[in-house]
Amino acid sequence: MLRTVVDRRIAGALCAAVVLAGTCLFGAASASASPSQPFDQWLAEVRAEARTQGVSDKTLDAAFDGVQPIPRVVELDRNQPEFRLKFDEYLGRVVTQGRIATGRRLMQEHAALLDEVSAKYGVQKRFIVALWGIETDFGRITGGFPVIAALATLAYDGRRSAFFRKELMLALQILEQGHIAASEMKGSWAGAMGQSQFMPSSFHRFAVDYDGDGHKDIWGTLPDVFGSIARYLSQSGWRDDITWGREVALPQDFERRLIGLETKKPLSAWQDLGVRRPGGGDLPGRDLRASIVEVTERSGRARHFLAYDDFEVILKWNRSTYFAIAVGTLADALDAR
């Protein structure tokens, strides 16, 4: 995905994640292009294009029945999302004791299915559940916008029309393939769908019909939800023989130019540079390559984390350092004995 679009989806997901706390912040409005033709005329052209891609009139009639631009979607899109919480505030809202407890309960409740999915795709089940929990609070908050109408609104509006027009075409193909009815295709204002919050393009690349019923149902079928999350990670380079990373302490004379994903070193090299576990202990003996990332708390205190390869896979899902650390932190808590 384009970075700008990913960041907007991230902000929407973060707002969904903190809705329990009653906070969803947006920044100042930015300039937007105005549509150059009436919506009905534009929609007729979209229908014609969709037909050339194999979408039937029956599907188009159901998808576009009563569709008009949604002012709230335009409002959200024209306000650049700006997540203002510092790391400790964010983590405290996203990785709560309640979410940890729920995640542990659900991981136990669905242990047999998760073990099966984990073995098939080579993804530890704690990460499947952590992503499920942070994206949609284990399927509780999936978004209430009609996806076709939301994508049509964004494709028509003109700010990133090419991207959203492509996503709209892919969404129509999902309907044509019979995975879900148009009336049931609900998601975020930006078109992220289901319990895994996939954009239509991600659905086509990664969604699976794990239970074999002929439908890739990321909205209501947990085998498909878990399988799709695991397949996304697996095909993005996930390794099940390592973890995501760990918090570390840096020496006072540490060279700041070494902080960032651009610099990778084996753990032994970081050990030689004085990097230690938070309590002062040595780093693990396994010589994995890692980077060091930094986040800042509200007090101004910086915290540092070693980031392994799987950390960067999580960033492919959502380009937010906060998000990636939160997924790892929740996954660790779910696996705690």
- Strands 79-81 and 245-248 come out as unpaired
Q: Is 130 exposed, middle or buried (0-12, 13-18, 19+ CB in 10 A)?
A: buried
Q: What is the pLDDT of residue 78?
A: 83
What the block records as the tokens of 259 is 């902080």
Backbone phi, psi, residue 263, to 5°: -105, 125
Rounded mean pLDDT, 17-21: 33
Q: What is the pLDDT of residue 90?
A: 95
pLDDT of residue 158: 79
Average pLDDT value over all residues in the chain: 90
Strands 289-296 and 302-307: antiparallel
Instruction: For residues 139-159, give the mean pLDDT.
Output: 95
CA distance 236 to 316: 7
Q: Which two tokens stand for residue 319?
A: 């380009």
pLDDT over 90 (residue 99): yes
**Largest interatomic CA distance in the chain:** 67
| Confidence class for position 337, pLDDT limits 50, 70, 90 | low
Beta bridge partners of 198: 193
Percent above pLDDT 90 for the chain? 84
Q: Is the dihedral of CA 90, 95, 97, 98 positive or negative?
A: positive
The pTM of the full predicted model, rounded to 2 decimals, is 0.88
Q: Give the model's pLDDT for residue 79.
A: 77
Task: List, for residues 29-54, the tens digit of each pLDDT value.
Answer: 333 345 678 999 999 999 999 999 99
Rounded distance between C-alpha atoms, residue 150 and residue 19, angstroms = 20
- C-beta of residue 171 within 8 angstroms of C-beta of residue 147: yes
Q: Which two tokens stand for residue 302?
A: 């910086």
Query: CA 248: distance to chain centroid?
Result: 26
| Domains defined along the chain, listed by start | 3-82+141-213 (1.10.8.350), 245-335 (1.10.530.10)
Segments in the chain forming alpha helices (H): 3-17, 39-52, 57-63, 71-78, 87-94, 97-109, 111-121, 125-136, 147-157, 161-176, 200-206, 222-235, 267-272, 309-317, 321-335
pLDDT for 36: 74
Beta strands in 171-315 (DSSP E): 186-187, 245-248, 260-266, 289-296, 302-307
CA distance linking residue 104 with residue 89, whole number of Å: 23
124: left (phi over 0), alpha (psi -120 to 50) or beta: beta
pLDDT in tens, 74-92: 999 887 545 578 999 999 9
pLDDT tens digits for range 294-311: 999 999 999 999 999 999
95/130 Cα distance (integer angstroms): 9
Question: Using CA atoms, how far apart are residues 160 and 190, in angstroms rounded to an integer?
Answer: 11
Q: Rounded distance, CA 152 to CA 63, Å?
A: 10
Q: Cβ distance 77 to 150 under 8 Å?
A: no
For residue 269, is pLDDT > 60? yes
